[in-house]
Amino acid sequence: MQQQYEGYKDLADSLKSASALLNLEHKSQLHQDIITICNHLVNPSFRIAVFGPFNHGKSTLLNAMLGNRTLPIDLIPTTGAAITVKYGSDVRTRIMLVDATEVYRSGTEVLQQFAILDGNRQMRKDVASVEIFCPHPFLETGVEFLDLPGTNDKDEQDNLVREQLLGADLVIQLLDARKLMTLGERENLRDWLLDRGIKTVIFVANFLNLLEPDEQKQVQNRLLFVAESFRAELPPGFSNLYRVDALPALRARLKGDVAAANSSGLAAFETALQNIVGILQPDRGSVRLPRVQAIASQIQYSLKAKIDPIALEIKSFDDKENSKIEIKRKAANLIYKGFSTSVGELRDWLALPNLLTKYQADAAIALAENNFKAWQTNTLKKDLNQLQLAVVKWLYQAYEFFQEERPQDLIIPFPSEPQIILPSKPSNTDDLSEPGSIAVGGGIGWLLGGPVGAAVVGSISYLLNKNIQKQDDQLAKESYHQEVAKLCITAI
């Protein structure tokens, strides 16, 4: 039992924290219902509420059961507060005010002051709860009664009453046999109760004694129909319809007249009630949990109504982001491919064998013609620039597209101009008139002018075309211009 209560406390806490997410107005129906359900879940007593329009004899019936005039009857204008009747060793009244002041008095006279409606038929706003303690054996078993104000006074009171029903384990619905509810009223009530999972409802018909005997029979049949149309969930074998003449019952109890109590219908009703409570009380979960389910699905529904638009917003945001990511992915792919191709081309170009194949002859000739720097700028650097530009173009696209800071430019340094040392001129050569035998890069042009220069250039082409410069060292030695040509090729 203890464990079960702790479980219910957890359940109540979960309901409260789920409802907190809804930011409900404190006065809203759902918020009130949740509070009521949570309090009900952890209430250790079995609560029986008496419900019905004012002047139907609710208080009279409860007094008849209690065997005294504990509850105010005929308060003028009418009872305004819900009064809980609990077990106590003597009759006492406790009124809690909204400012947490407690009014605790012997007897029930103090009710006249706090529990009636004022001239405007309004309940005193400063009263939070009204309890009466009573030494009755039925109450001692952990049962409490709830005497409710009339339901057709004012909307505010209707709300109060309905909340109280939600917190009751068993509802006694009082009917006036002289004026039964209309079909519409009945359906309203039934829907309201069933929607909230309130299924333990017993009908008690009052005032049947005021009808003529033939009328009684007719009304009895209609009452049966009303009771049957309500799908009550009572323990098997118990009727959900009883007849009690409340005032004669109270009088019989006050006098101790057992026969009169029997004929008023009170004794049979009490016996049935005690048996029903005996079965339901140990199994309060089965009464209370359907209401938790009803309220939980309302919370779920409200939460879903909040979640759905947010989920939709998140989805459309995600979709947008994903399509952006997809575009970026495609762009990255494209740029990466282009970049790889361009870098590949540059790398191939830079490979020494390729450079030699493409440029060695021209470079060596340029060197021989003292034209190396101009050749380097106009041919070699131009070709490199083109390839480099292709690489950098992709990089710039990437940095622009992904909004990154541009990197430093790619710098490929050039070696300094090659230098050669001319061998000494053979003595039998007349073609060269100048005596200088050593020249450094850039300085041999004047030395190689004239026919010797032309012969050197011719030799460079010849040697590279034949590709014999390595094979035959002898050959170079055979002629001075071939030797110089070979030096130029090597320098390059």
Ligand X SMILES: Nc1nc2c(ncn2[C@@H]2O[C@H](COP(=O)(O)OP(=O)(O)O)[C@@H](O)[C@H]2O)c(=O)[nH]1
Query: How would you label 359-368 residue by residue, b for 16+ Cβ within 10 Å and e otherwise?
Result: bebbbbbbbb
Select from Mg ion, ligand X, none the partner in contact with residue 80, using the beta carbon and a kind-dependent cut-off of 5 to 8 Å. none
Q: Which of residues 53-72 bind ligand X (CB under 6 A)?
A: 54-60
β-bridge mates for residue 147, sequence order: 50, 83
- Residue ranges in 195-214 that form contacts with ligand X under rule CB under 6 A: 206-207, 210
Task: Map residues 230-269 to x or -, x wherever contact with Mg ion holds by CB under 5 A.
Answer: ----------------------------------------
CB 112, min distance to ligand X, A: 14
By CB under 6 A, name the one of 95, 193, 246, 487 that touches ligand X: 246
- Which of positions 68-127 make contact with Mg ion (CB under 5 A)? 79
Smallest separation (angstroms) from ligand X to the CB of 147: 7
Which does residue 246 touch among Mg ion, ligand X, none (CB within 5 to 8 A, set by kind)?
Answer: ligand X
- Which of 32, 59, 70, 342 touches Mg ion by CB under 5 A? 59
Q: Nearest approach, Cβ of 111 to Mg ion (angstroms)?
A: 11
Listed ranges 85-93, 96-104, 245-253, 459-467: which one lies at the site for ligand X (CB under 6 A): 245-253
Report CA torsion sign: 253, 259, 263, 265.
Answer: positive
Alpha-carbon span 252 to 60, nearest angstrom: 12
CB of 293 to ligand X, least distance (A): 31
- 115/452 with CB nearer Mg ion: 115
Question: Is there a cis peptide before residue 77, judged by omega within 30 degrees of 0?
Answer: yes
- Does 181 bind ligand X (CB under 6 A)? Our answer is no
Q: How many CB atoms lie within 10 A of CB 415?
A: 5
Q: CB 150 → ligand X: shortest distance, Å?
A: 5
Instruction: Give the residue with the Cβ less far from ligand X, 210 or 312.
Output: 210
Asked if 339 touches ligand X (CB under 6 A), the answer is no
Which residues, in sequence order, are bridge partners of residue 48? 145, 170
**Shortest Å, Cβ 50 to ligand X:** 8
Residues 99-138: x where in contact with ligand X by CB under 6 A, - otherwise, as a string: ----------------------------------------
Q: What is the spatial distance between Cα 470 and Cα 451, in angstroms, rounded to a whole number?
A: 25
Binding map of ligand X across residues 247-276, x = CB under 6 A, - = no contact: x-----------------------------
Binding site for ligand X (CB under 6 A): 52, 54-60, 73-74, 78, 150, 206-207, 210, 245-247
- Which residue ranges make up the site for Mg ion (CB under 5 A)? 58-59, 79
